[in-house]
Chain A
Amino acid sequence: MTNLVELAARLLDCEDRETMLGDLEEAGESSWRRLLDISGLVIRRQAMLWQSWRPWLAAFGLAFPASLLLMGFSLTITQSFRHLGAPGHPANGFAIPVLLSQVGLLVGWSWIGGFVLASISRRTLWVSMVLCACPCLFCLARFRVPHLPSPCLLLFLLPAIWGVRRNFRAPVMQSRTAAGLALAVTLLTIFLSNGGLPNWILTWPAWYLAATAETSRV
C-alpha cells in the first residue's frame, strides 16, 4: 500500500508531493486514507486544468483530428514510394520531388503538431496522447491494404514525438524560426493540394507557433 501511495504522489508536482506527503505523515493518516487524499487531489487538479480552453484545443482540436489525417498522409506517402520503385512505373521527372515534398510536409506537420501539443497544454498531454492513440489502434486493427505493412500508418509518430521532446527540452522558439517553419509548411501544403482545398487543419499549428513564438514558455 505504501508503494501505491508513493506512486499516486508521483502524479503531483514536486512541491505538492513533498508537502502533501509531509502533511499526511504529520497527521498520522493510515495508508488507505493517504491514498484517498492524494488521489482526490490529483483528480481535482486535473479537473481544474480542464476549466481552460487549452486542453480542449490540444486534445480535440489537434491530437485527435491530426492523428487521423496524418495516418492518411502517411499511407499516401508509402503508396507513392511503392509506385516509384515499382517495375514498369512511367518515368516522371516530378515524382521524386513530389515524394520528397510529401515527406518534408509530413515531418513538418508532425513535428510542429507535437511541439504545439506540448506547448498548449503540457499537463494534459497524456489525454492528448490517448486521443491520438485511439484512432491509431483502431486503424491498425482494421488495416487491409494489400502489399503494405500496417505500421506505415504510423510514419508521422516519430517526428511528432521528436516535436514533443523538443518542447520539453526547449519550450521557447525564436519567432524568425517559427515564422520560417510556418511559411515553409504553408507553401508545401498549397503546392501539394493539387488544386483542391489545402489542408488547413494540419497547418494552423504552424501559424499558432509563429504567433506565440516569443511567448511560448511553459
Chain B
Amino acid sequence: MLGEFEYLLISAAVGIGDRAYSAAIQREITATTGRRCSIGALYTTIDRLAAKGLVKTAMGEATPQRGGRAKRMVRVTPKGVQEAKSFYDAVTQISRRTLWAVKDTGGAS
C-alpha cells in the first residue's frame, strides 16, 4: 500500500497531466497541503515509486526560468493509478463513520 506522501505525489502528477515534473508537483503539493515539500524528499519518493513501477521519469526540456536546466518529467503508470485508487478507497472506507466525514456529509450516519 502507498504511503501518504506517495499518494499525494501520484495524485498531484495525475492532476497536472502530461506536463507533470518535479517542481510543478512540489508547487501542487505545497498549495494543497499548506506544508512546504522539499525537492530532495520529492526526488527520493519519485525514485521509490519508479523502482516499484508506479511512475516513469524522463528528462524534459529546459526553460529560462530554470536557468536553462532540464526538467524531470513524471508520468504515472497504470499500476500507479491502480495503487492510488486502492489507497483512496481504503481511506474513504475507513473514514466513513468518523466525525469529520459525517460532518462533511451533513450529519447523516
Across the two chains, which residue of chain A brings its CB closest to B65?
A: A26
Across the two chains, which residue of chain A brings its CB closest to B62?
A: A22
B71 touches A19 (CB 8 A): yes
Which residue, A26, A29, A40, A44, has most C-beta atoms of chain B within 10 A?
A26
How close is B98's CB to chain A, nearest CB, in angstroms?
34
Knowing A21-B67, A22-B66 are in contact, say whether A40-B23 is a contact too (CB < 8 A). Answer: no
The 8 A CB mask of A1-45 against B (1 = contact, 0 = none) is 000000000000001101111111111010000001111110011
Question: Does A48 lie at the interface of the complex (its beta carbon under 8 Å from any beta carbon of B)?
Answer: yes
Across the two chains, which residue of chain B brings its CB closest to A43?
A: B40
Knowing A23-B26, A26-B66 are in contact, say whether A16-B71 is a contact too (CB < 8 A). Answer: no
How close is B33's CB to chain A, nearest CB, in angstroms?
16
A38 touches B70 (CB 8 A): no
Distance, CA A16 to CA B26, complexed state (A): 16
How close is A8's CB to chain B, nearest CB, in angstroms?
11
B67 touches A25 (CB 8 A): yes
Q: Main SS of the interface on chain A?
A: helix
Distance, CA A38 to CA B44, complexed state (A): 11
Knowing A15-B59, A23-B23 are in contact, say whether A44-B40 is a contact too (CB < 8 A). Answer: yes
Knowing A15-B59, A27-B23, A48-B47 are in contact, say whether A22-B40 is a contact too (CB < 8 A). Answer: no
Distance, CA A36 to CA B40, complexed state (A): 9
Question: Does B109 lie at the interface of the complex (its beta carbon under 8 Å from any beta carbon of A)?
Answer: no
Question: Does B32 lie at the interface of the complex (its beta carbon under 8 Å from any beta carbon of A)?
Answer: no
Q: Which of A16, A26, A38, A41 contacts B23 (CB 8 A)?
A: A26
How close is B59's CB to chain A, nearest CB, in angstroms?
6
A20 touches B43 (CB 8 A): yes
Across the two chains, which residue of chain A brings its CB closest to B60?
A: A19
Size range of the chain B interface in the assembly: 20 to 34
Distance, CA A72 to CA B43, complexed state (A): 45
Which residue, B23, B39, B72, has most C-beta atoms of chain A within 10 A?
B39
Distance, CA A21 to CA B69, complexed state (A): 7
Question: Does B22 lie at the interface of the complex (its beta carbon under 8 Å from any beta carbon of A)?
Answer: yes
Q: Which of B44, B59, B66 contacts A23 (CB 8 A)?
A: B66
Please name all residues of chain A whose beta carbon is closer than 8 Å to the beta carbon of B38 when the two chains form the complex: 36-37, 40
Please name all residues of chain A whose beta carbon is closer than 8 Å to the beta carbon of B39 when the two chains form the complex: 20, 23-24, 27, 29, 37, 41
Please name all residues of chain A whose beta carbon is closer than 8 Å to the beta carbon of B65 when the two chains form the complex: 25-26
Knowing A19-B59, A37-B38, A40-B38 are in contact, say whether A25-B69 is a contact too (CB < 8 A). Answer: yes
Within 8 A of B (CB), among A121-142: none
What are 30 pairs between A and B in contact, CB < 8 Å?
A18-B59, A19-B70, A19-B72, A20-B39, A20-B40, A21-B67, A22-B62, A22-B66, A22-B67, A23-B22, A23-B26, A23-B39, A23-B66, A23-B71, A24-B39, A25-B67, A25-B69, A26-B23, A26-B63, A26-B65, A27-B23, A27-B27, A29-B39, A36-B38, A36-B40, A38-B40, A39-B40, A40-B40, A44-B44, A48-B47
Apart from A22-B62, A24-B39, A45-B44, list 7 A-B contacts with CB within 8 A.
Answer: A18-B70, A22-B67, A23-B39, A23-B72, A26-B66, A27-B27, A41-B43
